[in-house]
Amino acid sequence: MKASDALLETRNALAAGARFAWLFFEAVGGATRAHYVVDDAGKLHDCAGDVEGTLRSLASATPAAEWYEREAIERFDISFSELPLAATLSYPVAAEELRSYSASAEVSTVLYGPVRSGIVESARWNVGTAGEDFIDVCPSMFFKHRGLEERFEGTPLQLAPYVAEYVSGATASSHAAVFSRAVEAALGIRVPDRARAARAVLVELERIHQHLDSLAKLADDGSLSVGAAMTFAAKERVHRLLCEATGNRFARGTICVGGTRFDALSRLADACERALDEVQQQATQTVAGLVSTPSLIDRLIGTGRLDESTIRAYGAVGPVARGSHVSSDVRACDGYLYTPLDGEETREQTGDAAARALVRVGEITRSFQLIRNALDADPAGPSVVAYTPQDGSAIARVESPQGELLYFVRIESGILSRVAIRSASFANWPAFVPSLPGNIFTDFSFIEHSFGAIQAEVDR
């Protein structure tokens, strides 16, 4: 199939109600292949075709495609028609190139980052402001090029999950799990139930400590020093539980292709029997205290509001989408969890920073229940199966703490020839800019931390 035909098929799917999820490219047999990925009624569809000449931009139909197309121009020398001219995306540029307004005595440019107080991520925001109001905001990212997608190529399959864990150190289990799922789909491997349950527990514990991290930073933004310290302490208890069970605070070195590297479910069950009640009590009581503090909630209500149509247009995922009442939890449709979800996913209506915080509070409670369900199920059998490398390709996804995380793998002659990553943070950053108008400069950190994005997932 030609890429132009794949694009037409994608446009028809989007017009019929599908959600744009991803656009990436790969070199196959001397050609450059475009993959348009959509979610149609909870199932992923990959419309792929070889590029011949200039492609028509998909961003005119869905703004969510713009960052992918701009990245394709710079990484794969793809040309698009109808794509508005924009500054370079995948490496930093001078602030003057990002300014879309006329400089005047009333409007000044503030370069916020990449090194900022209290912010460890290397993103810079070029802010045009007249006093406190936002006139124009443009992100400048990719200060680090880590070459991790290329690092996978040629790495033996048994070692490659270690690379996935370092794409985003804070969400190592999510990246190792989805990479392994993609390889297993490509090779037709059926993962033992015991390993599926262990992976589910690991990713849910990861969701809890990441949601606590986001809430703690919001508390710190609101000058709730004690509340922030207590929430970081609750997060630390999750890390210690993981370390007790797996030997690593982020559970690195646990997930492998075909299952888990040891009987992780038994170790998790032992650690949780000793500590999970206390960890849950500390976490839930702490976050309940935060969201019942008027000075914090008042600061979040109405801040960084995104309506449902904006979320859909920009393809936002995870708690950012669910805070605007957009259903986006892929755990409900992809068979990732060992035990099914109980009830509806946590969603809020207002689309502001308060809504995104409340989504995380609800999901913390739900994650504890999913952990208990998986441990109670305690499926028997091995933790890993043997496999024989062969040629194949597949896309897989999991619901990471930040939202839908996608991996594509291609295996040729038994080794990885292409790995592509679409993180939730990459999907959510474009929606950050439209959340800013109507807010003032001191709202910036509240909005940023309510997104909970991880820059490392972007600088891949």
pLDDT of residue 432 exceeding 80, the answer is yes
pLDDT value at position 162?
A: 97
Backbone phi, psi, residue 302, to 5°: 80, -5
The token pair at 2 is: 């030609």
pLDDT value at position 129?
A: 80
Backbone phi, psi, residue 56, to 5°: -75, 135
List, as one string, the DSSP characters of 30-57: TEEEEEEEEEETTEEEEEEEE--SPEEP
Could you give the percent of the chain with pLDDT greater than 90?
A: 72
The token pair at 42 is: 């909870």
Mean pLDDT confidence for 236-251: 98
Confidence of residue 103 (pLDDT cuts 50, 70, 90): low
Confidence of residue 331 (pLDDT cuts 50, 70, 90): confident
Confidence of residue 460 (pLDDT cuts 50, 70, 90): confident
Q: Is 365 exposed, middle or buried (0-12, 13-18, 19+ CB in 10 A)?
A: middle
pLDDT value at position 128?
A: 81
pLDDT value at position 98?
A: 64
Query: CA–CA distance from 401 to each of 4, 45, 61, 268, 404 (Å)?
Result: 35, 23, 28, 19, 8
Mean pLDDT confidence for 86-93: 72
The average confidence (pLDDT) of the chain is 91
pLDDT value at position 305?
A: 96
3-state secondary structure of 317: coil
Q: Shortest CA distance to 120 belongs to which of 459, 460, 408, 454?
A: 454
Q: Is the model more confident about 306 or about 444? A: 306
pLDDT value at position 121?
A: 67
Mean pLDDT confidence for 225-245: 97
pLDDT value at position 119?
A: 59
pLDDT value at position 33?
A: 95
pLDDT of residue 94 exceeding 90, the answer is no
Contacts of 354 (CB under 8 A, 6+ apart): 297, 300, 301, 302, 303, 348
pLDDT value at position 202?
A: 97
pLDDT value at position 415?
A: 92
pLDDT value at position 101?
A: 58
pLDDT of residue 323 exceeding 90, the answer is yes
Q: Nearest-5° angle of CA 77, CA 82, CA 85? A: 65
Could you give the percent of the chain with pLDDT greater than 70?
A: 95
pLDDT value at position 441?
A: 82
279-294 pLDDT tens trace: 999 999 999 999 999 9
Mean pLDDT confidence for 439-459: 88
Can you tell me the distance from the alpha carbon of 184 to that of 107, in angstroms, rounded to the nearest whole number?
Answer: 54
pLDDT of residue 296 exceeding 80, the answer is yes
Q: Which helix (H) or strand (E) holds 187?
A: helix 172-187
Mean pLDDT confidence for 405-430: 95
pLDDT value at position 353?
A: 97
353-399 pLDDT tens trace: 999 999 999 999 999 999 999 999 999 999 999 999 999 999 999 99
Query: CA–CA distance from 36 to each of 6, 57, 127, 175, 314 (Å)?
Result: 7, 12, 33, 21, 16
For 93-97, 150-154, 249-253, 439-443, which range has the lowest pLDDT when averaged over its residues?
93-97
pLDDT value at position 367?
A: 96
Q: Is the model more confident about 30 or about 271? A: 271
Q: Is the model more confident about 414 or about 103? A: 414
pLDDT value at position 30?
A: 86
For 34-43, 52-61, 213-222, 332-341, which range has the lowest pLDDT when averaged over its residues?
332-341
